[in-house]
């Protein structure tokens, strides 16, 4: 360091000459620009921008200048140092960005690797369809009821106006339970326990529990002595509907069934009723729905057959009708004041049509490959 100039004589300080400052600045900028990584930049910064750098040292010499020259030299050095600092910051940002990019690239993984460490489960489509149907009727304000699967004959037959000699009550159709105190050859006022053959006992239980208005759906297991094949199973499910109120007629039934097929199969579909006979309804009807695949276009068009409806245009869904007033009487409801309708629809049949399932075996066997694709809701 030069001694302070106290004589105010013009003193020449070599390092503060404009050319020297410019040179130091250019060297510094070159070093910063040349820094290939953050470490090199750090070194360049120490060499050219920190306390021991030429420009910092030159700055200290300013005091040796005559007052008239100080401002000029100060400005010169200051500008040079600022330029260097700025270059360092800019270069650091550049290098950090480069580094970050490189690290992230290095850290990249194959996100397509499978992660099946914990298996996924699923619910049986009959269960989820049951829930779906319950929601469809629940949206109308109906209650969802259930009842026992082992039933008394009275609940399953007599109360539903099915006479004691009806063929459905024979062991060819109905599962009978070995019941203590019951003798089939004794007419002593005692009945057998059976596995319910329909969900209709839930109708009776609902009516015995409460007076109308009644709007209920019951979806549950029923049992008949059919052998398992592609379209039959001894254990199957029914969707049972019952409405009892003042002034209920077949038009209400028709409207409800239209609503059901539209909710379950498609908004533009219709239901159709065909006369039939059931002891518990009078009048009775077979319930068909318009084929949701061909909408009837395949009828009489052998070139475009429909596999879903066998080119019939309609699909049979179940049975229904106006509740036989005798049934109302058995359940303690005044048939002169109230009337009702009821329907029974096969849940398996609905599932098979709705989801294109060809074989009942798949529904009952419990193979995980069948159930998993249905997930937890349908």
Partner 1 sequence: MRVPLSWLREYVDLPAEVSGRELAERLIPIGFEVETVHQSGAGLTGPLVVGRVLEIEELTGFKKPIRYCQVEVGPEQGGVRGIVCGARNFKAGDKIVAALPGAVLPGDFKIAARKTYDHVSDGMICSARELGLGEDHTGIIVLPSDVTVGADAIELLGIRDEVLDIAVTTDRGYCLSMRGMARETAIAYGMTLRDPALLDTPAPTSDGFPVTLADPTGCDRFVARIVRGIDPLATSPLWMQRRIQLAGMRPISLIVDITNYVMIEIGQPLHAYDLHRLTGGITVRRAAAGEKLTTLDAAERELNPADLLITDESGPIGLAGVMGGASTEVHEGTVDVLIEAAHFAPATIARTARRHKLPSEASRRFERAVDPNAAAAAAQRAVDLLVLLGHAEADPEVTVASTRPHPSAPIVIDAGLPGRVAGLEYGRSAVVRRLQEVGCTVEGSDQLSVTPPSWRPDLTDPNDLAEEVIRLEGYDRIPSRLPTAPRGRGLTLRQRLHRRVGRALADAGYVEVLNYPFVGKAELDAMGVPEDDARRSALTVVNPISDEHPLLRTTLLPGLFATLRRNVGRGFSDVALFETGLVYQPRPGATAPPRLPVDRRPSGEELAALEAALPDQPRHVAAVLTGTWERAGWWGGGREATWADAIEAARTVAAACGAELTVDQEQYEPWHPGRCAVLSLDERIVGYAGELHPKVLEALGLPPRTCAMELNLDALTPETEVNVRGPEVSAFPVAAVDVALVVSREVPAADVESALVEGAGPLLESVRLFDVYEGERVQEGTKSLAFSLRLRATDRTLKADEVAAVRDAAVASATRHTGAALRG
The one among 67, 180, 302, 373 contacting partner 1 by CB under 8 A: 180
The one among 77, 80, 133, 153 contacting partner 1 by CB under 8 A: 153
State the pairing for strand pair 214-223/143-145: parallel
163 binds partner 1 (CB under 8 A): yes
Residues with Cβ within 8 Å of 68's Cβ and at least 6 positions away in sequence, in order, are none
6 binds partner 1 (CB under 8 A): no
Cα separation of 29 and 216, whole Å?
A: 87
Distance of CA 255 to the CA centre of its chain: 30
Distance of CA 290 to the CA centre of its chain: 28
Cα separation of 249 and 71, whole Å?
A: 108
Give the tokens for residue 286.
Answer: 């077979």
Range in contact with partner 1 (rule: CB under 8 A) among 16-24, 71-79, 302-310, 368-376: 368-376
Give the tokens for residue 277.
Answer: 């006979």
305 binds partner 1 (CB under 8 A): no
Residue among 324, 337, 247, 330 at smallest CA distance from 282? 324
CB of 341 to partner 1, least distance (A): 8
258 binds partner 1 (CB under 8 A): yes
Q: For residues 34 and 376, which CB has a smaller minimum distance to partner 1 in the complex?
A: 376
Give the tokens for residue 88.
Answer: 């360092």
The one among 119, 302, 303, 373 contacting partner 1 by CB under 8 A: 119
Q: Which positions from 266 to 285 touch partner 1 by CB under 8 A, shown as an x/- string?
A: ------xxxxxx----xxxx
90 binds partner 1 (CB under 8 A): no
For tokens 């070995």, name the residue.
178
47 binds partner 1 (CB under 8 A): no
Cα separation of 148 and 159, whole Å?
A: 16
361 binds partner 1 (CB under 8 A): no
240 binds partner 1 (CB under 8 A): no
247 binds partner 1 (CB under 8 A): yes
Cα separation of 319 and 282, whole Å?
A: 12
The one among 56, 57, 235, 293 contacting partner 1 by CB under 8 A: 235
Q: Which of residues 315-354 bind partner 1 (CB under 8 A)?
A: 322, 324-326, 329-332, 339
Size of the site for partner 1 (CB under 8 A): 102
């Amino acid at each position: 360091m030069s001694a302070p100039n106290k004589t105010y004589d013009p003193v020449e300080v070599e390092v503060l000459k404009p050319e020297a400052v410019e040179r130091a600045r250019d060297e510094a900028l070159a070093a910063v620009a040349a820094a290939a990584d953050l470490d090199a930049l750090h070194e360049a910064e120490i060499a050219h921008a920190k306390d021991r750098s030429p420009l910092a040292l030159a700055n200290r010499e300013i005091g040796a200048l005559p007052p008239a020259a100080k401002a000029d030299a100060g400005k010169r050095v200051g500008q040079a140092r600022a330029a260097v600092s700025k270059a360092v910051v800019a270069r650091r940002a550049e290098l950090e960005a480069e580094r970050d990019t490189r690290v992230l690239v290095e850290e990249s993984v194959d996100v397509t690797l499978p992660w099946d460490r914990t298996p996924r489960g699923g619910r049986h489509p009959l269960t989820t369809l049951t829930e779906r149907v319950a929601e469809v009727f629940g949206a109308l304000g109906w209650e969802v009821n259930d009842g026992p699967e082992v039933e008394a004959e009275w609940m399953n037959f007599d109360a539903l106006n099915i006479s004691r000699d009806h063929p459905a009550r024979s062991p060819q159709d109905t599962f009978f339970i070995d019941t203590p105190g019951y003798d089939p050859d004794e007419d002593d006022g005692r009945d057998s326990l059976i596995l319910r053959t329909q969900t209709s006992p839930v109708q009776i239980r609902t009516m015995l529990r409460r007076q109308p208005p009644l709007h209920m759906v019951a979806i549950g297991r029923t049992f008949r002595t059919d052998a398992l094949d592609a379209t039959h199973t001894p254990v199957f499910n029914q969707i049972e509907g019952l409405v009892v109120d003042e002034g209920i007629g077949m038009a209400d039934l028709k409207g409800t069934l239209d609503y059901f097929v539209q909710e379950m199969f498609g908004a533009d579909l219709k239901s159709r009723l065909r006369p039939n006979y059931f002891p518990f309804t009078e009048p009775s009807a077979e319930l068909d729905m318009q084929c949701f695949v061909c909408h009837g276009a395949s009828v009489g068009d052998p070139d475009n057959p429909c596999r879903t409806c066998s080119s019939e245009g309609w699909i049979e869904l179940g049975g229904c009708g106006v509740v036989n007033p005798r049934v109302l009487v058995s359940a303690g409801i005044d048939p002169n004041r109230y009337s009702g309708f009821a329907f029974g629809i096969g849940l398996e049949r609905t599932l098979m049509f709705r989801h294109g399932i060809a074989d009942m075996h798949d529904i009952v066997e419990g193979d995980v490959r069948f159930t998993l694709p249905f997930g937890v809701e349908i």
